[in-house]
Structure 1
């Protein structure tokens, strides 16, 4: 069957740069899935995306799908015809539904492998590629993830940006389709400045080359991005430093240009007195510049911009960018110098005017609670609380600085520099920024104990307060980011190796909210919510829910303890004996759950009459002596590996010993033996939970 390349290009006004990759991927995926659903085969589909176009190139698309034979089964023949062979109502309904002549029904009987039934077999012609293109494109455009659509001119059509042209080429044939009130043809358009004219696309396969060589457009997003990366890196090296390429900024710049030309500019060294993060933020957010650092990682007075034009006088472009960035950096310098005149301590009163949450008071109130909670946590960690209390008291003061009001991503970072300027201790200054760590999954943790304490206190205050007023996250709604805060709490405790009890921390946090009455239900709800995040975190790391549930069965509340046990049980599941021992523990749990009367507290060795129970008792006693000190030292993985040696004795016991013996003394003694077995494993976790529910 013959096949041709297919090009579909949607030409638009400048598309939102931060959405371009998503729009392109969705458009390509939709075209691909629709072709597959219509059984139209192709060898490859490639996407193109620039600020002014979304396009796909489908290689070797068959001209039509193969014909298909379809079968429509009806009622069994014995139901379709009566004893005299006349059609019943069921047969008449089948004939009517499938537009068959009732007299021909006897000719439409087939066997489905079990019985004779009415059956209509027919040949359905395969879809023709050219005939379905309009439908495919309309469906793909309608399904794009566009938050807000717009209309333009007198048209009722809606899209993310006004559509200016449509180009559909199948092989060398221009396909005419009307989409969004525009008629498609064989014309694309070049670069807005270098080639502001129609370009004839002679064939679908020549699209990329024609745009590049004639239109000054690099249509392939990935190729354009790699070109930008290489240019920026080379310029950074030519300046004697290293260009820092933020992936998100690189994506955005790639989506802003069609013919990238990287240029290097500079700014006055006096601006380097300003916190580098503020300068970088200004260059990145407002101007889309890449910054450059020296061999020590310090900011250099240079920037790299990516123009969308190959200028005959590049220096003029550079001069223009330098003129634009100067007032931005001057603003940052002014904000910094002005802010330094007022200490973080003296800014605290302004926090009384900022509401944290209507029912939970102001930001000032929050700092008071966080300071008190930080003091309590410092006590639990046996460290001097002075630094933590001081840091917590000042931790939100930078919210009312000019710097943070202008650059919101400087929150915490600005506080660090202002605390240094105020002469605060280094760990107090670092805590101004470290209170927000980790900011996202996989982010770094605080480097100081002071920062860790304040980060913990801040998150716990928010979680407990928001839960107390009934604003529990539901579905995707989590306005106070409590899920992220909970994961942060868990990471701060476990990864820093702090032996802190969540139950105690939650009680302390709730106690700081004077307007909230503590109750067991609130306490339990918060505890379960945070621990549930622990479960989700393990699942993300490839640890099954069964492993977590095995540990969770012990109702532990110390995250570090839970983490050590979960990792130990995860390692245990990799042992060859694990499955059999888990199944045996499940059996033990079931037996003990059904046992009647009081089970003896210890095993009576004189009642061990079977060889298998004698062996098991001996090995249990030996293991008890081995693993008890291990478990006491939290060497759970080592202890479980030792207990794995019981598998053979446990299997022999269940193979040869009747637990529920007729003699009550023997029965109770064997139940005591099983209780001892279960108790050894329960020191770590309930491994019976590892057996998947049927």
Structure 2
């Protein structure tokens, strides 16, 4: 008696975006229901769900076996339907399609593009999958292959084929839902259906190429990016200037970055992108190439959107990296500048993704960019459109806060992140290098004790009265352990200075770990808060130097 309620509740809880009604009934589902099989053991469960009374009869394939199929038992469900040309197991259909598509692609001396989402969708559209090879006219290969692939995948649910060099072949694979006596007829039908789609793409491509890419900017002057921040063309001009600022600071060319930034949004007003939004950036690349723009400028028009998601591809050129960072940073500064901060549930301008994208580019491409100065420059580009007070700091905090989640995903303890964050490095690459060094330091046997000592020293220094001397005076030492620690600090300082200059943070911390023994001996034998004011002040200066050595990498006291 519980089963009908459980099943009905489960069906109602399915994440169906749009439900429908049919006939004069009030029931709603993704599609009209035709029959219902519900068995418990070999018994039919007496119930009515979604306007259907339960029974034990299903139906076979519409053409191969249009009769009812009696389901003998739950255990026989799959075999009973298979005998009627219905593969009821989704995973089995998926596997058959995947295997056969690969086989056919190999026969065509190509490789099939099989996105998991498309494979799932096709497996859900057929009950007796029969993949077939079709073709289209080679003249369509003059159109950017991404546009052809997009329309064949999204509109027709076809699997496209690439040659050994990654170029699109004039063939594709469709998955029929029938074992036809005349498969050529199905092939011809699909070839006939796809032709108008490809013709449209060809038309848009040819229309766009009748004018220079840069002329598309004129249309963008009337397209709003954000009401308070101006048009898309205004954004392109800001991105151009910001990219020109960034490029030479990461080893790129300012002039080419500026050019790429100016052209970066042009294709948004093209016919191609109007019909195929997924082509933004890609269309720009092809049009820029046709106009004779430098290769890195053309590539940057597509690379500006990278990474397009978690783990996605990064820009391959410095020009592309500069424009990608500039585009994302411009959005961050602008949206923060008008007070539209993201909330826990809403982030309409994808600011979190933009911040993570900037960090990934800088860290994974090893680009040493001073984000503090760059963000300040970006703020100046908006003039009176934004409120600049405290804006740069707010944006920087938001960007560097994204690193916390990134490192947690990588298994880095939050204390490690906080120890570096305390120093507020200006470069994301520098930040990451410090994190990796501290992570390695924690594995050393001396790490825990030195972290505790740093915490103790930090507490002592915070309670010191007045300013702490910058220099240590050996004449005030009255204990051999003071001399030992002072000597060890001098040697360590001399050793780590060149390491710090080269950002060899791991080596630096490994060398500082050698201070554990003289530090332990010092605290065992020396009372820091001596009665003599000069001795006490000198000991504070000594400990300040000790702490300063570690602060050259991170605030190790936060690891305790």
Shorter-chain TM-score bucket reads over 0.9
Please point out which of 483, 506, 509 is paired with 2:352.
Answer: 483
- What is aligned with 1:520? 389
The question of whether the paired residues in 1 share the 8 Å contact of 2:334 and 2:386 is answered with no
Residues in 2 aligned to 1:229 and 1:576: alpha-carbon distance in whole angstroms: 52
- Whether the 8 Å CA contact 2:272–2:283 is kept in 1: the answer is yes
Consecutive unaligned residues in structure 2, runs of 5 or more = none
TM-score by length of 1: 0.78
Provide the C-alpha distance between the structure 2 equivalents of 1:381 and 1:174, rounded to a whole number of angstroms: 71
The structure 2 residue matched to 1:198, chosen from 57, 64, 68, is 68
CA 1:611–1:224: 2 relative to 1, 3 Å: farther
Q: Looking at CA atoms only, which structure, 1 or 2, has the larger radius of gyration? A: 1
Give 1:530 shift.
Answer: 1.1
Could you tell me how far 1:646 is from its partner in structure 2? 1.9
1:160 CA drift (Å): 2.9
Question: Any idea what the Cα deviations from partners look like across 1:221-275, whole Å, max 9, x if unmatched?
Answer: 2221111011101111111222222222112111111111000001111111111
1:359 — aligned with what? 228
Look up the match of 2:184. 315
User: Which of 409, 434, 442 is the equivalent residue of 1:565?
Assistant: 434
TM-score w.r.t. length of structure 2: 0.95
Alpha-carbon distance between aligned partners in 1 of 2:232 and 2:315, rounded to the nearest angstrom: 22
Spell out, residue by residue over 1:323-380, the C-alpha distance to the aligned partner (whole angstroms, 9 max, x if none): 0011111111111112111111222211112111111111111111111222222343
The residue correspondences of 1:166-565 to structure 2 (distance < 5 A) are 166-213=36-83, 215-381=84-250, 383-565=252-434
SS at match of 2:390: helix
Q: In the alignment, is the contact (CA less than 8 A) between 2:305 and 2:324 conserved in 1?
A: yes
Shift of 1:461: 1.2
Contact 2:338 2:387 survives alignment (8 Å): no
Provide the rounded CA distance (Å) in 1 between the counterparts of 2:9 and 2:476. Answer: 78
Which residue, 126, 138, 148 being the options, matches 2:8? Answer: 138
Bigger proportion of residues as strand: 1
Equivalent positions of 1:15-34 (< 5 A) are none
Contact 1:502–1:558 at 8 Å: present in 2 too?
Answer: yes
Residues 329 and 375 in structure 2, CA contact (< 8 A), matched pair in contact too:
yes
C-alpha deviation, 1:611, in angstroms: 4.3
Superimposed CA distance per residue, residues 666-685 of structure 1 (whole angstroms, 9 cap, x where no aligned partner):
43333222212211100111
Cα drift, residue 519 of structure 1: 2.5
Query: 539-548 vs 457-466, which deviates more?
Result: 539-548
**RMSD in angstroms over aligned alpha carbons?**
1.9
Runs of 4+ aligned residues of structure 1 deviating over 4 Å after TM superposition are none
SS at match of 1:520: coil
Aligned-partner Cα distance in 1 for 2:381–2:126: 53
Q: CA 1:518/1:136 → structure 2, altered by over 3 Å: closer, same or farther? A: closer
The question of whether the paired residues in 2 share the 8 Å contact of 1:284 and 1:290 is answered with: yes
For residues 368-410 of structure 1, the C-alpha deviation after alignment (integer angstroms, 9 at most, x for no partner) is: 1111222222343465422111111111111121111111111
Instruction: Report the equivalent of 1:592.
Output: 461
Give the conservation status (yes or no) of the 8 Å contact 1:510–1:516: no
Aligned to 1:19: none
- Greater mean deviation of Cα atoms: 137-146 or 660-669: 660-669
Q: Tell me the distance in 2 between the aligned counterparts of 1:300 and 1:147.
A: 36
| Maintained 8 Å contact 2:132/2:173 | yes
Q: Is the 8 A contact 2:260 2:300 kept in 1?
A: yes
Residues in 2 aligned to 1:183 and 1:580: alpha-carbon distance in whole angstroms:
72
CA contact (8 A) 2:338 2:386 kept: no
**Alignment match, 2:30:** 160
Q: Matched residue of 1:250: which SS?
A: helix
Q: Please tell me whether the aligned partners of residues 250 and 318 of structure 2 are also in contact (alpha carbons under 8 angstroms).
A: no
Larger deviation, residues 402-411 vs 517-526: 517-526
Per-residue deviation, residues 23-68 of structure 1 (Å, max 9, x unmatched): xxxxxxxxxxxxxxxxxxxxxxxxxxxxxxxxxxxxxxxxxxxxxx
Relative to structure 1, is the Cα distance of residues 367 and 569 closer, same or farther in structure 2, using a 3 angstrom cutoff?
Answer: same
Q: Name the CA shift for 1:576/1:507 in 2 (closer, same or farther; >3 Å).
A: same
Cα deviations across residues 585-605 of structure 1 (Å, max 9, x unaligned)? 112112222223443333333
Match runs of 1:82-97 below 5 Å: none
Contact 2:136 2:195 in 1 (8 A): yes
Cα distance change on mapping 1:656 and 1:172 into 2, 3 Å: farther
Alignment: residue pair count? 560
Q: 2:36 aligns to what SS in structure 1?
A: strand
Distance 1:189 1:651 in 2: 81
Secondary structure of the 2:546 match is helix
Contact 1:538 1:544 in 2 (8 A): yes
- The aligned runs of 1:23-62 (5 Å cut-off) are none
User: Does residue 644 in structure 1 map to residue 477 in structure 2?
Assistant: no
How far the C-alpha of 1:278 sits from its partner, in A, is: 1.1
CA contact (8 A) 1:395 1:415 kept: yes
Distance 1:674 1:263, change over 3 A: same
CA distance in 2, matches of 1:572, 1:520: 39
